[in-house]
A and B are shown apart, each in its own frame.
Chain A
Amino acid sequence: MTTASHETAQRTTEPTRAPLPVEPDPGTRRLSTAKAMVEAIAQQMRSNEEVFVLGEDVGAYGGIFSSTTGLLDEFGPDRVRDTPISETAFIGLATGAAVEGMRPIVELMFVDFFGVCMDQIYNHMAKIHFESGGNVTVPMVLTTATGGGYSDGAQHSQCLWGTFAHLPGMKVVVPATPYDAKGLMTAAVRCDDPVVYMFHKGVMGLPWMAKNPRSVGPVPEEEYEVPIGKAKVVREGTDLTIVTVSLSLHHSLDVAEKLAGEGIDAEVIDLRTIVPLDREAIAASVSKTKRLLVVDEDYQSFGLSGEVIASVVEREPTALTAVERVCTPDVPIPYAHDLEYAVLPTRDRIEAAVRRLAGAK
Chain B
Amino acid sequence: MVGGIQVTPQQTNQQMPQQATPDTAQDQARDVAQQPAGSQLLETGRRELLRTMILIRTFEEAILRDYHADKSPAFDIGAGLIPGEMHLSAGQEPVAAGVCAHLTSDDAVTATHRPHHLAIAHGMDLRRLAAEIFGRETGLGHGRGGHMHLFDPDTHFSCSGIIAEGYPPALGQAFAFRTRGSDAVAVAVTGEGAANQGGFHESLNLAALWHLPVVFVVEDNDWGISVPRSASTSVASNAARGAGYGIPAVRVEDNAVEDIHRAAGEAVARARAGGGPSLIEVHTLRLWGHFEGDAQAYRSDLEGVPGHDPIPTYESHLVDQGVLGESDLEVMHASAHERVEDAIGFARSSPTPDPADALKYVFSEGERR
Contact = CB atoms under 8 A, between A and B. Distances in A.
Interface in B23-45: 45
A78 B140 CA distance: 34
A12 to B, nearest CB: 6
A129 B145 contact: no
Contact of A6 (B104, B186, B203): B104
Nearest to A168: B362
Given A86-B202, A133-B145, A171-B363, A2 B104 contact: yes
Interface string B162-187: 10010111111111110111111010
Nearest to A125: B169
A104 B92 CA distance: 35
B363 A12 contact: no
A83 B145 contact: no
Contacts of B367: 134
Given A102-B176, A119-B165, A135 B140 contact: yes
B176 A133 contact: no
Given A89-B168, A92-B199, A130-B361, A1 B121 contact: yes
B175 A131 contact: no
Contacts of A89: 167-168, 171, 199, 202-203, 205-206
B361 A129 contact: yes
Nearest to B100: A1
A97 B173 contact: yes
A101 interface: yes
B172 A131 contact: no
A102 B179 contact: yes
A129 B172 contact: no
B361 A92 contact: no
Interface string B276-306: 0000000000000000000000000000000
A193 B364 contact: yes
B361 A91 contact: no
B206 A84 contact: yes
A88 B172 CA distance: 12
A215 B162 CA distance: 41
A258 interface: no
B145 A131 contact: yes
A128 interface: yes
A243 B345 CA distance: 55
Contacts of B162: 119, 123-124
B171 A3 contact: no
A192 B364 contact: yes
A79 to B, nearest CB: 9
A135 B167 contact: no
A187 B180 CA distance: 24
Contacts of B165: 88, 92, 119-120, 123-124
B364 A129 contact: yes
Contacts of A86: 202, 205-206
10 contacts: A52-B179, A84-B206, A88-B199, A92-B167, A93-B171, A96-B110, A100-B173, A124-B160, A135-B140, A136-B151
Interface of B: 45, 48, 52, 97, 100-104, 106, 108, 110, 121-123, 139-145, 149, 151-153, 156, 158, 160, 162, 165, 167-177, 179-184, 186, 198-199, 202-203, 205-206, 209, 268-269, 272, 360-365, 367-369
Given A4-B104, A95-B169, 13 more contacts: A1-B123, A3-B102, A6-B182, A93-B168, A96-B172, A97-B179, A98-B172, A99-B158, A128-B151, A131-B145, A132-B144, A135-B140, A168-B362
